[in-house]
Amino acid sequence: MNIKDIANLAGVSPSTVSKIVNNKDESISAETRQRVLDIVKEYHYSPYAQATATVKTTYLLAVLLNTPLVHDSTLDGILAVAQENDYQVLIFNAYGSQKQELKNISIAISSGASGIIWEPVSAKNEQGQSLLKQAAVSIVTIGTFGNQKSLSTTYRLAAYKLTQSLVDQHHTKIACLMDSGRRTEEFLQGYKECLFDNNIYFENDMVFSEVSEVLISQINAHRVSGVVSSHYHKATEFAEWMRTRSVRIPKDVSLVSIRDDSADTLFAFTPQPLSTITIRNADYGRSACETIIKYIEEKDDTAGDAVPDLHLDNTDTIAAPYELSQSRVVVVGSINVDTYLSVASLPETGQTTSISASEDIPGGRGVNQAIGVALLEKPVILIGKTGSDAESDHIHQELDKYNVTTQGITRMDHINTGKAYIYIAQSGNSTISLIPGANNYVTAEYLEERRQLFQNCKYCLIQSEIPMDGVEKACDIAHAAGAKTIFKPSTLKEIPKSLLAKIDIILPNIDELNELQPGSGSLVGKAKLLLESGVKTVIVTMGSDGSFLVTQDIQQQFPVAAFPLIDNTAASDAFISALAVYLMDGYDLIKAIRIATYAAGFCIAREGSSTSLIDRKSLEAYIRQQAPELLAK
């Protein structure tokens, strides 16, 4: 604080201030003199001659706070370190007032403090910053508008560990609940880093600043399975909202939070202990004080700021996601970007074909079947691989939209997401060309690492667009979990006998059956050869001729459902998805096939792959009109 600053505050000239403080004020009114002296006292202003005689007290620190610390141990940590290092401490509190803050800065400087720990009232305090710069005093800023690295690192790591605790329980739909404060930015960064490291797509609309009906609806729809909270009082508020709405923690939604020793923690109440990482503000205070002393004494500390040990105090409010505790379908298969090419007729050798339209949409049999199951209202997990390209982002967004659990999907660096080029003729028939990309890396080892995802699996849907060792491993893990396997062969000329023995239901189309069992035998005869190799059930799809079931006891044809043929690309995926869902629901095989036939019918009447699949309400509403007896178990 200099003479010009005092003059500005008093509304007089610098010469008037000089006269008053140097007792040369005979010509100045008593009222002006008193006003200037009050400001001089208020801001502890010293004339230049006195100020130059003031030597900074080497072992004196000033702490300039902004918020009440009655229930916050930050100051305890500062005092402990100061006393350990034989420093005296002056303590000030602005209580949110910039005017008071400026006074506190002036007093701290005039007192000769060698270092100042400052919690700024706001991001804008040019006058205070200027005073500190002129005084050439060591400064550590803390709080919402501070930059103390140890605090930032601590909250970032705490957020990372809290998020990881949910990921370890196979959560992928993790919301971040935050309040404003000194930890907010770093907490969000730690949350994002953990999602990225675990190949989970970050979405802005999964970050909430308050407990709202939007968040509640996301939880009720199972689009949020876990919540990470930056403040304990927010976590307790969230827990109370869940209690009043009969949402069970952690059965329906998991909750983790930071806990500290501030007032909002001490007086917060929750009927059950929350899973928390405790951060003592005293540790933060210690770090800030250690840093300022290091600056004052010019110590070289190559070890950097110390970070407290961070660990969960308990796991009482953490459990596996809701969908993992329910009977569910696991889909192991290809994840592609499908490029649809509309043509007058399918390409033939030596013929040039004109493309009238093209469109890129998420696809692949794995994606199609997973979305098909989700639309039929069964929990479903998709296991596969994508690249780290822009297409993979689109696929994750699409799967999230349909509520498909993506914990089993990994993004691969330097590998492209699989691609499929699908020619659609005006007749509705199609041909497909594949570039496997990341699908080639869905190996037995990869699936073994994800064995836990098969917990509570009742049906496992597998396709041959991944390596054969992956297909066989998926069958092994599914059977070990008590699930049945449904296998769709494509692009195969033969299937190892070791694999056939592990397939409960195989669904080739007529062309695929003839590839697998070449020769002039009948459909039934070829299907029986598959049964003799260990397959339990064979269902052959035959386009407009419907499908044919062959088991040891049954041989039965099922007519096609009466739908116009627009695009048959995903018809078998729609059939398989519905077959698995209705078998899970206790329908016998005959009824499940008939229902699946209707699902395939809806699919061929629409363009696209995943976009052509039918939802349960629409499917059953149609069946009630056409064949209501099918829905009776």
For residue 561, what are the contacts with CB-CB under 8 A and spacing of at least 6? 597, 598, 600, 601
Q: Of 140-144, 268-272, 316-320, which has the strongest mean pLDDT?
A: 316-320
Rounded to an integer, what distance in angstroms lies between the CA atom of residue 229 and that of residue 259? 10
Given a contact cutoff of 8 angstroms between Cβ atoms, the answer to whether 231 and 255 are in contact is: no
Mean pLDDT of the chain: 86
Angle, CA 269 vertex, CA 166 and CA 183 arms, to 5°: 55
pLDDT score recorded for residue 302: 39
Count helices and strands in the chain by DSSP H and E runs:
23, 22
Say whether pLDDT at 371 is over 90: yes
What whole-number distance in Å separates Cα of residue 6 and Cα of residue 2?
A: 7
Question: Tokens 């020619």 identify what position?
Answer: 423
Across the range 56-82, mean pLDDT stands at: 79
Phi, psi for 177 (deg, rounded to 5)? -105, 120
Cα distances from 181 to residues 128, 206, 278, 605, in angstroms, run: 21, 19, 17, 54
For the stretch 525-568, pLDDT in tens is 999 999 999 999 999 999 889 999 999 999 999 999 989 888 78
- 102 contacts: CB under 8 Å, gap ≥ 6: 43, 125, 127, 128, 131
Report residue 531 as tokens: 């049964």
**Does the pLDDT value for residue 49 go beyond 70?**
no
Q: Percent of the chain having pLDDT more than 70? A: 90
Confidence of residue 51 (pLDDT cuts 50, 70, 90): very low
What number is the average pLDDT over the span 75-91? 89
Task: Please report the pLDDT score of residue 52 as a whole number.
Answer: 43
Q: pLDDT higher for 512 or 633?
A: 512
Instruction: State the pLDDT confidence band at 414, using cuts at 50, 70 and 90.
Output: confident
So what's the pLDDT on residue 545?
A: 92
The predicted pLDDT at position 407 comes to: 82
Per-residue confidence (pLDDT) for residue 44, from 0 to 100: 61
Residue 411: pLDDT above 80?
Answer: yes
Residue 149 — very low, low, confident or very high, per pLDDT cuts 50/70/90?
low
What mean pLDDT is predicted for residues 327-347? 86
Nearest-angstrom CA–CA distance, 475 and 503: 7
Q: CA–CA separation, 594 vs 547, rounded Å?
A: 10
Nearest to 446 by CA among 466, 470, 481, 475: 470
Q: How confident is the model at residue 305 (pLDDT cuts 50, 70, 90)?
A: very low
Q: Give residue 69's pLDDT.
A: 60
Question: Distance between CA atoms of 359 and 426, rounded to whole angstroms?
Answer: 16
pLDDT given for residue 153 in this prediction: 72
pLDDT at 246 over 50: yes
- Quick one: average pLDDT of 3-18? 84
pLDDT band of residue 452 (cuts 50, 70, 90) is: confident
Paired with 418 in beta bridges are 336
| Model confidence, pTM | 0.63
pLDDT category of residue 422 using cuts at 50, 70 and 90: confident
Q: Which residues partner with 343 through β-bridges?
A: 355, 425
Bond before 68 cis per omega within 30 degrees: no
pLDDT at residue 53 tops 80: no
